[in-house]
């Protein structure tokens, strides 16, 4: 299966993108939805919250009163950490169950609000960031969610910065325009990248691309860093950005990475192939049609 991490700041419209990809057939795992499910009345999760924060966080019907809980944790880092230590493991277990139940040929879109903040990006084959102009986001939050402008700006400021998101983004979707436009972009992402990427990962075949020769691209080091993070996660081995794109000279737009292996080259080759970098005989290629890459295994 193809694992896609989807995130974006509050008011960016990532739910619109998530919904569109689900319409195309993606298996959508919504972390926020799961976070609500694991603390519904009668669940062990709700019991743990009451034990931690008291019965005052409950509504009259025994359900979780989210505004009351938010008032307790929003401006208290220690209390937020306490909340996260209860909810996040429960969400993680439920997420694992859903992943296990997904088909082998599924495109799984994991909608995770804190993907950047929690450094989850290397866990996915692809990370999609939905963004929008700050003023546009403030307008959406005040007009559709009833927030005050002060509250909207505070919530935006409390999240990851644009620079932090760009660091992990394989795909950057600007949702500052119309709904029709972002839906069109989501359609193209599905058809042109996610569907062929999934097939390549499942069949363990490299993407067929014709990389263009271009001038130095200042984003090459950042793109290489994302690939290296994924490679290191699955192999546990050091990797280095090499070749012309590392030198910052005009070159084919192919990121080259060198992985240092010892006597376990066969095991590493299998790990890379399963993770979306198929190949053999010391040379692997990316299965992503949107990001050509070559990985060399060196003794």
What digits encode the pLDDT tens for the residues 167-225? 999 999 999 999 999 999 999 999 999 999 999 999 999 999 988 999 999 999 999 99
**Any binding-site annotation on 143?**
no
One fold for both 2-201 and 213-298? no
Give the bridge partners for 239, in sequence order: 259
Give the bridge partners for 284, in sequence order: 279, 295
Task: Find the distance separating the first CA and the last CA of the chain, reported in whole Å.
Answer: 31
Write down the pLDDT at residue 299.
82
Write down the pLDDT at residue 259.
96
Residue pair 9/153 in contact (Cβ under 8 Å)? The answer is: no
Number of Cβ atoms within 10 Å of the Cβ of 147: 18
Residue 174: its H or E element: strand 171-174
| Sheet of strand 171-174: strand arrangement | 27-30, 107-111, 2-8, 126-131, 171-174
For 131, phi then psi, to 5°, come to: -135, 165
Strand bridging mode 213-214 / 107-111: unpaired
Which residue pairs, CB below 8 angstroms and at least 24 apart, start in 141-146?
141/10, 141/11, 145/11
Question: DSSP character for 191?
Answer: I
**Any binding-site annotation on 142?**
no
**Any binding-site annotation on 12?**
yes
pTM for the full predicted model = 0.91
**Any binding-site annotation on 47?**
no
Hey, is 170 helix, strand or coil?
A: coil
Write down the pLDDT at residue 42.
92
Radius of gyration of the chain (CA): 21
Topology given in CATH for the domain delimited by 2-201: Rossmann fold (3.40.50)
Residue pair 82/88 in contact (Cβ under 8 Å)? The answer is: no
Euclidean distance between CA atoms 217 and 288, whole angstroms? 19
**Any binding-site annotation on 15?**
yes
Euclidean distance between CA atoms 269 and 162, whole angstroms? 35
Domain residue ranges in the chain: 2-201, 213-298
Cα 119 to chain centroid distance, Å, stands at: 9
**CATH for 213-298, among 3.30.1540.20, 1.20.1340.10, 3.30.460.10, 3.30.43.10?**
3.30.460.10
pLDDT < 50 positions in the chain: none
**Any binding-site annotation on 14?**
yes
């Amino acid at each position: 299966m193809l694992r896609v991490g989807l995130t974006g700041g509050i008011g960016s419209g990532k739910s619109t993108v998530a919904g569109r990809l689900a319409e195309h057939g993606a298996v959508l795992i919504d972390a926020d939805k799961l976070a609500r499910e694991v603390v519904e009345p009668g669940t062990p999760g709700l019991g743990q919250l009451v034990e931690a924060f008291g019965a005052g966080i409950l509504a009259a019907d025994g359900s979780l009163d989210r505004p009351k809980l938010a008032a307790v944790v929003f401006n208290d880092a220690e209390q937020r950490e306490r909340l996260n230590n209860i909810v996040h493991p429960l969400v993680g277990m439920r997420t694992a169950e859903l992943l296990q139940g997904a088909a082998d040929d599924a495109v799984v879109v994991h909608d995770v609000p804190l993907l950047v903040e929690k450094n989850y990006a290397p866990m996915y084959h692809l990370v999609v960031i939905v963004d929008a102009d700050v003023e546009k986001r403030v307008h959406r939050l005040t007009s559709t969610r009833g927030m005050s402008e002060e509250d909207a700006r505070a919530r935006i400021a409390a999240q990851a910065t644009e620079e932090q998101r760009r660091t992990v983004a394989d795909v950057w979707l600007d949702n500052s325009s119309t709904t029709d436009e972002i839906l069109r972009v989501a359609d193209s992402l599905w058809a042109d990248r996610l569907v062929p990427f999934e097939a390549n990962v499942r069949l363990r075949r490299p993407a067929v691309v014709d990389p263009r020769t271009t001038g130095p691209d200042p984003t090459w080091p950042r793109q290489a860093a994302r690939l290296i993070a994924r490679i290191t996660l699955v192999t546990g081995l050091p990797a280095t950005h090499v070749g012309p794109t590392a030198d910052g000279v005009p070159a084919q737009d192919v990121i080259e990475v060198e992985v240092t292996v010892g006597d376990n080259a066969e095991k590493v080759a299998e790990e890379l192939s399963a993770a979306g970098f198929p190949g053999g005989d010391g040379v692997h290629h990316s299965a992503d049609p949107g990001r050509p890459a070559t990985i060399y295994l060196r003794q």
